Structure 1
Amino acid sequence: MNSPASNANETLNAAARSLRNVRMKPIGSKSQALRRAHFWGKLSKAVVAVGVVLIGAGIVGAIIDGIGFWGVMITGIVSAAAAYVLMRYPEMPMPTAESLRVTDLATLAGKTEIWLEAQRPALPAPAVTLMQDIGLRLDQLAPQLQTLDENDPAAREVRKLVGEHLPELINGYKKIPDSLKHKEHAGKTPAQQLVDGLKTIDREIETMTGQISRGELDKLAVRGRYLEMRYDNKEAQGQNV
């Protein structure tokens, strides 16, 4: 059982990681684009709602020959309330490890970036730094994904890498107790294994981007089978720890 001092330290570390995540910039432009689209969508609905309220008030005023002071006040309050509610809700849906597996290609890069940004508080600093590189790779991959069909074998391989292998790597690390994350196993700590895995995925995204751009989709499928064996073996090893 952890001592009160150990629990307090873990709580402080978690709070520090959360604060660090808030201060960090997005890891890629595609996540920013999705957030902007969500904001402008809510803003347009709010403008329409306020317009409907004002038009309704104008029609009522024309019928009864003016709405008076209290009518203007009520119109203002209803307009403000409608704008407030529509700008606050709905919140942008947060991608999950499960949803990334079925995300459409057009938004896969951006939603993966958003999911990665949410994981930063639980990860060591070297892994957080690597996420900036992965975000850049995902930005470069996104235009190439537009050239693929949703059911293309190459599309499935990309989804496996960024929608399965990447979340499984990070979630596997997060499940390890904090007290064990910096203890060596098989020559490396879990934190070092995480960083090595992220480096591999970073390189693989770069490779996939080049293969898609050159139309080398057969090579991409072979690469995907290699990665599947690599990460299946790692997962089996992790279960034996």
Structure 2
Amino acid sequence: MADPDIILSRNADRLDRLARGEAAQRARSRNRARTQASFARRFRRALIIASVLILAPILYGLVIGPIGTTALVLLVLFGAMAIMAGFIWDGSAPSAQKLDAATIDVLPTVTDAWLHAKRRELPAAAGPKIDAISAHLATLEDQLRNQTAPNDVTQDIDRLLKKHLPELIERYTKVPQAQRTADPSLGATLVSSLTVVERELHRASLKLAEGDRDAVIIQGRFMEERYGEGEGPLR
């Protein structure tokens, strides 16, 4: 007969893998939506710049007169550069200052966008942890959306996302790339620290939902005691 502890351990491992896979899938969906929104925003900006560059010489010619060949060539050159800059530049990523100014109800959303922008500066090994953190942030978005009064849990989340996580990422990215490559322990330390962040966000989410979970259990017991097998009074 199989050892129950072994069976429980295997089931726990399976559930953990499923949870990680679900977290990665949710994170990929969020990243895909964010990338599409960024592309649409940059394309719209480039389109506006192109429209202005086309209309400006036309209006100038109608009101004042022809702009001349040299001015037209310069306009085309600088216009092409402006369109490329408008399409490439994406100013939507929040800064660390915006993180610090965010209220608790929008902090998970702002943090997720900031992490997404920072991801390219982090080692590939940190990717799964960033995905897991992103999934926890998505859950916390719903839980904190209507949160007004501060409590111990929200204060922990606020401190973690505004201070400790940004400091960790910023200090890692300040290390020159050559030194990061030469010392793999830096990347390993980063991944280990991100694991702690993931675990703390999960713990905070469980704590926030604790009251509702207890209420479900109490209500379930009440229903069982009152109605039993369906023979209780309906009043």
Normalising to structure 2: TM-score of the pair?
0.50
Aligned mate of 1:153, from 128, 150, 153: 150
3-state SS in 2 of match to 1:200: helix
Give the letter aligned to residue 77 of structure 1: L
| Counterpart for residue 143 of structure 1 | 142
1:27 & 1:51 partners in 2: Cα distance? 36
Q: Which runs of 5+ in 1 are unaligned?
A: 1-23, 183-188, 217-241
Size of the aligned set, in residue pairs, is 181
Aligned runs of 1:189-228 on 2, under 5 Å? 194=193, 197-207=196-206, 210=209, 214=212
The Cα shift of 1:85 comes to 3.0
Deviation per CA, 1:151-191: give whole Å up to 9, x if none: x315544322433354466679999x958779xxxxxx968
Task: Determine if contact 1:169/1:197 at 8 Å carries over to the other structure.
Answer: no
1:128 & 1:41 partners in 2: Cα distance? 25
Aligned runs of 1:23-172 on 2, under 5 Å? 27=27, 29-30=29-30, 37-63=37-63, 73-89=73-89, 91-93=91-93, 95-96=95-96, 99-105=98-104, 107-117=106-116, 118=118, 125=125, 128-149=127-148, 152-154=149-151, 155-167=154-166
Give the letter aligned to residue 109 of structure 1: P
Bigger radius of gyration among the two: 2
Q: What RMSD in Å do the two structures reach over aligned CA positions?
A: 4.9
Give the letter aligned to residue 82 of structure 2: A
Give the letter aligned to residue 54 of structure 1: I
Task: Determine if contact 1:54/1:75 at 8 Å carries over to the other structure.
Answer: no
2:106 & 2:30 partners in 1: Cα distance? 8
3-state SS in 2 of match to 1:160: helix
Change (3 A) 1:31 1:145: farther
Change (3 A) 1:171 1:211: farther
Give the letter aligned to residue 102 of structure 1: A
Task: Determine if contact 2:106/2:145 at 8 Å carries over to the other structure.
Answer: no
2:164 & 2:207 partners in 1: Cα distance? 14
1:36 & 1:138 partners in 2: Cα distance? 20
Deviation per CA, 1:66-121: give whole Å up to 9, x if none: 6676676555334323312323446555543x653332456533442344453686
2:161 & 2:137 partners in 1: Cα distance? 9
Change (3 A) 1:35 1:108: farther
Give the letter aligned to residue 153 of structure 1: P
Residues 155-164 or 130-139, more deviating:
155-164
Task: Determine if contact 2:45/2:86 at 8 Å carries over to the other structure.
Answer: yes
Change (3 A) 1:51 1:135: same
Give the letter aligned to residue 101 of structure 1: D
Q: Which runs of 5+ in 2 are unaligned?
A: 1-23, 215-235
1:72 & 1:173 partners in 2: Cα distance? 48
3-state SS in 2 of match to 1:147: coil
